[in-house]
Structure 1
Amino acid sequence: MGATWLKPDFGRRRDKAACREMIRGGSRSFFFASLLLPPPLRDPAYAIYAFCRLSDDTVDDCEVTGLAPVESLYERLDLAYAGRPLDTPADRAFAETVDLYGIPRALPAALLEGMAWDCQDKRYETLEDLHDYAARVAGTVGAMMSLLLGARDPVVVARACDLGVAMQLTNICRDVGEDARRGRIYLPRAWMRGVGLDPECWLADPKPGPALASIVKRLLAEADRLYDRAATGIAGLPSGCRPAIHAARLFYREIGYDVLRAGGDSVTRRAVVPGDRKAALVASALAAAARRTEVDPSPPLVCNRFLVDAARNAPEPKLEPGPLGRAMRRIDNRVGWTVELFLELEQRERAAQMAAAARG
C-alpha cells in the first residue's frame, strides 16, 4: 500500500509570519536568497532557520550561564520531535517542518552540540578541528535544507554539507573582530602561531595586520574550495530550487571577497554585501542554475560523514510531491520582482540610516 500523502498546507499564518520576520531581521543574505525558492518551500525553510536563530540567541550569554541554555534547547528539541512543541512560533513551525519533511533529530541535535562547544569555550587548533565545529553549526543546516528540498542522494547531501561548512568559514572570517571582543577565537590557533601570533596575546589586544590577514585569506581559500565543490551539488536539487541555493552561495562568497578587498581586515570593519550587489548576483545565480553540471562524487568531508548518514536514514516525507513540483517550475516570473525588492530594501535601509544619523 502506498504512502498517505498530505497536502502542502504548512503551518499557522502567524507562526509563518513570525519566523519570516525573524530571518528577515537576523539573516538578510538567507532571506534575500529565499525569495527565489518556490513559495511552498519558503515558510518551512524559515522555520528551520528560525529554530537555528533562536538557538544561537539562547546561548549568546552562555559564558555567564554555563550549559543551562543548551540543556534547555535539547528539551525544546525533544518536545518538538514528540509533537508537543513549546508554545512559540519558532517551536511550533519547526516541529511541523521536521515532521512533514522527515528531518531526523540527529541533525538539529548536532547543531546544538556545536553550540555547546561555544559554551565550553572549545578551542580549534587545526583546520580539521574547525571543520568539526562548522559541520555542526552549519553543515547540519545544509543537510536539513537538502531534505527539505527533496534531495536525499548521499552525494548531493554531502555537497550541501560542503556549502554549510564553507558559509561558516566565511562567517568566521567576517566576524574575527566581533568574536575577539567576546573573548573568542575561531581561527585555527596553530595557523596563528605559525605566523608569529600568540592567540591569547592577540586576543588581549586584537588588531588587524599582515599576519592575521594571511590567516583570513588562507581560510577563505578553503571556503572557496568548498563553494566550488558545493556548486556542483546544486545540480542535484529540483530545478526550481537551484537559483535560490546558488544565490545563497554567491551572497556568502561575496562576503569573503569583501573581506579580501579590505586587505583581510575584519577586525576594524564588518564585511557586508549591499542590496544592489545582491541584485546583480541574482543574474549569476540564474546562469549557474541553468548550466548542466555533473555532481562532484567526492566523498563527504570527514566531519560531515555522520550528517550524510543521518540524512540517508531519514524517514520519508509526508508531503504530496505533485503540487510542490509544479510550484517549483514557476520561477521565471518571480526573478524581476525579486531584483526590484532587493533594490527597494536597500533604498529603505539607506534612508533609515540617514534618518538615524540626522536624529543623532
Structure 2
Amino acid sequence: MTISAGHFTPDRAEDIAARDMAECREAIRTGSLSFHAASRLLPTAVRDPSLALYAFCRLADDAVDEGDDKIGAVLQLRDRLDLVYQGRPRDAAADRAFARVVEAFDMPRALPEALLEGFAWDAVGRRYDTLSGVLDYSARVAAAVGAMMCVLMRVRDADALARACDLGLAMQLTNIARDVGEDARAGRVYLPLDWLAEHGVGVDAFLADPKPDAGVRAVTRRLLDHADRLYARSEAGVPRLPFACRPGILAARHVYAGIGGRVRAAGYDSVTQRARTGRGAKLGWLALALLRAGTTAIGPVPSVLHAGAAPEVDFLVQAARGTPRKARSEALLSVLAQLEARDRGIA
C-alpha cells in the first residue's frame, strides 16, 4: 500500500470522499454522542480522520456487541481489516474512509488489530479475574483508539502515547461502571471477579437477577476511583500534543469523567439506571476544556509524564512508535483460531 507523507487535507480529491465523511459523521453523531461533542474542538485536519476512525470502530463494535452472530462479526472484521491494509476496502463508507486514514497516516496495523482482539474476547465471553485483566481488555478496546488518535495528531512520543493510553483506559473503565446493569442483563460481566468475591457478590446469582446491592456498588466505586487516577495521570501528556488538539482531548477527558460523576451521584447504582449527561453539561465541559487548554494549569509534572506506560498498554506504545512487528501476535491468532473452530461447529 502506498503511504502518503503529506498532511491530511479534507479538500483534496484523494482524501476521504465527502459522502463517506458525511456518513461517518452521522454514525458518530447518533452512536457516540460524547465523542461527537468532544470532536467539535479538534482541528479539521484531525477531526475528520478521527471521525472516520471512530465510525469504523463504532460500527464494528456494534456488530459484535448487538448482533446475533458475534463470532461471525469478529471474523468479518478480521477480513475487513485485511482488505483495508491491502488497499482494497469493502464497498462501505466507513471502510473506505478508514482505508484512507490508514494510508495517509501510516497507521500501524497492530493498533486496529488490538481492537480486533478485544472484540474477539467479547465474542468468546471472556471474564477478567483481576483489575489487570480488565485493563488488558480496556487496552484493546479503548487505549488502542487513544494510541491511534496520537498517530492522527502525528505524535509518536513515548510519554505522550503512554498518557493517551491512560486516558483510553480511564474512559473504558467509566463505560464499564456505567453499563454494569446493561451488561449483566446481556449475560456479561466486566468487573474484576476478585473484587466481586471480596465484596460478597456471587457472579452467577448477580447475572441471574441483577441488583445494585452494596457489594456491586462498592466494586463500581473502586473502578471509578481507579479511572479517576488514570484521568489525572493522562493530563500530564496533554502539553505534548499540538496546541490546537488540546481542547478536544481535554473535552473527551471531562465529558467521560462526567459520566462517572453521574454514576457516583446515583450512589453507584448503574444497574437500575444508566448514567446520562445532558446537552448543557456537555457544553459546560467543552467550555472548561477550552479554558484549561489556554492556561498553564495542565503543565506536566515530570514524574507523572515520564512514569512509563502501564504494563497492559506498553505493546500499544511500542506499536505506535513504529517498533517493527513481523506478524500478528500469537494471542490474536489463537483467539481467531478459536472463533474459526466455533464458527465451523467443531469446538
Identity %: 51
The match for 1:190 is 194
User: Contact (CA 8 Å) 1:243, 1:289: kept in 2 or not?
Assistant: yes
User: Contact (CA 8 Å) 2:8, 2:45: kept in 1 or not?
Assistant: no
Asked if 1:13 is matched to 2:18, the reply is yes
Asked if 1:259 is matched to 2:263, the reply is yes
Scaled by the length of structure 1, the TM-score of the pair is: 0.84
**Please, which of 103, 123, 139 is the counterpart of residue 107 of structure 2?**
103
**Please, which of 26, 48, 63 is the counterpart of residue 58 of structure 1?**
63
Farther-moved stretch of structure 1 (293-302 vs 138-147): 293-302
What count of residue pairs does the alignment treat as equivalent? 312
Asked if 1:133 is matched to 2:133, the reply is no
Asked if 1:243 is matched to 2:247, the reply is yes
The match for 1:222 is 226
Asked if 1:280 is matched to 2:284, the reply is yes
CA shift for structure 1 position 7: 6.1
The match for 2:322 is 313
Provide the C-alpha distance between the structure 2 equivalents of 1:6 and 1:18, rounded to a whole number of angstroms: 22
* Paired letter, 1:253: A
- Spell out, residue by residue over 1:313-351, the C-alpha distance to the aligned partner (whole angstroms, 9 max, x if none): 179xxxxxxxxxxxxxxxxxxxxxxxxxxxxxxxxxxxx
- Spell out, residue by residue over 1:111-157, the C-alpha distance to the aligned partner (whole angstroms, 9 max, x if none): 01000000111011100000000000001000000110121101101
Farther-moved stretch of structure 1 (74-83 vs 7-16): 7-16
User: Contact (CA 8 Å) 1:104, 1:314: kept in 2 or not?
Assistant: no
CA shift for structure 1 position 210: 1.8
Provide the C-alpha distance between the structure 2 equivalents of 1:61 and 1:120, rounded to a whole number of angstroms: 14
User: Contact (CA 8 Å) 1:104, 1:310: kept in 2 or not?
Assistant: yes
CA shift for structure 1 position 6: 5.7
- Spell out, residue by residue over 1:190-226, the C-alpha distance to the aligned partner (whole angstroms, 9 max, x if none): 1011011111111110001222111111000000000
Q: Secondary structure at the match of 1:104?
A: coil
Provide the C-alpha distance between the structure 2 equivalents of 1:277 and 1:229, rounded to a whole number of angstroms: 23
* CA gap 1:173/1:7 in 2 versus in 1, 3 angstroms: closer
CA shift for structure 1 position 287: 2.6
**Please, which of 148, 156, 160 is the counterpart of residue 156 of structure 1?**
160
User: Contact (CA 8 Å) 1:138, 1:167: kept in 2 or not?
Assistant: yes
* CA gap 1:4/1:36 in 2 versus in 1, 3 angstroms: closer
- Spell out, residue by residue over 1:68-126, the C-alpha distance to the aligned partner (whole angstroms, 9 max, x if none): 22111111001001110000000000000011012111000000100000011101110
* Paired letter, 2:6: W
Scaled by the length of structure 2, the TM-score of the pair is: 0.87
> 1:62-211 alignment to 2 at 5 Å?
65=69, 67-211=71-215
Query: What is the CA RMSD across the aligned residues, in angstroms?
Result: 1.5
* Paired letter, 1:40: A
Farther-moved stretch of structure 1 (280-289 vs 22-31): 280-289
Moved runs in structure 1, 4+ residues, more than 4 A? Answer: none
CA shift for structure 1 position 4: 5.6
* CA gap 1:48/1:66 in 2 versus in 1, 3 angstroms: closer
Q: Secondary structure at the match of 1:59?
A: helix
Return 5+ residue gaps in structure 2 as ranges. 325-347
* Paired letter, 1:302: P
Asked if 1:300 is matched to 2:309, the reply is yes
